[in-house]
Structure 1
Amino acid sequence: MDTRQVVNSYYELANKGDWDAWTDLFAERQTMDEQLAGHVEGRETLRTMMQGFPAMYASFTNTPRHIVVEGEQAAVVSHISAATHAGEPIEADVVNYFRVEGGLISYMSNHHDTVPFRPVLGTD
């Protein structure tokens, strides 16, 4: 897959809740700087982390609004709409940066306001 296909798959699989296939988009030795989870290294570490994702959200969508791809790099402006199991809504604008090597995400970072996520973090 080229960079655009990988990025498109990232959002399609996330919005389907197919976290195992989503994790397969990442290189074995991927590095991620995630706004809420912090620094994550390794695809299997990420896979284990994502197994708990459905317990955090009753619903979750991350809709791309603007995608810029240049070679092996991409930046995406998107919007997350989610809800906790208690029905509390979460709305947040996000910017994700991707580096894709050999058809897999080798590095990713995301940036967003953390306040909307307080209900799932238990910091309300």
Structure 2
Amino acid sequence: MRDALSETFAALADPTRRAMLARLAEGQANVTELAEPFLNRMSLPAVTKHLKVLERAGLVTKTPDAQRRSCHLNAEALKEAADWMSTYREFWEASFDRLDDYLKSVTSQVNQPNQGNSKNDV
């Protein structure tokens, strides 16, 4: 059994599913509306499988709406992934800050004229 974070990242690994989430970030949509941009390269059952992966990861919820099923983005599930990644973002930002400081110190040393190497010293 996989944990929720693994399910989230597995769901986000596919560009079709990320596109579906991007569409749902604009507002709810029914399955047909979500499938429309993808039907030129995949079948409706394939799109439905992608939606099931998103549902299993908790990223999308479907609610019955008369004859249609409305899909909604569950942003809370994305928050857990964002929180996990923020730790590593902080690590890389600190690393880049240290690199920046080092490069500034090396650049200032290179740009300073040599001390004690004037023509009169020869």
* TM-score normalised by length of structure 2: 0.24
Q: Which has the larger radius of gyration?
A: 2
Identify the structure with the greater helix proportion: 2
Identify the structure with the greater strand proportion: 1
* TM-score normalised by length of structure 1: 0.24
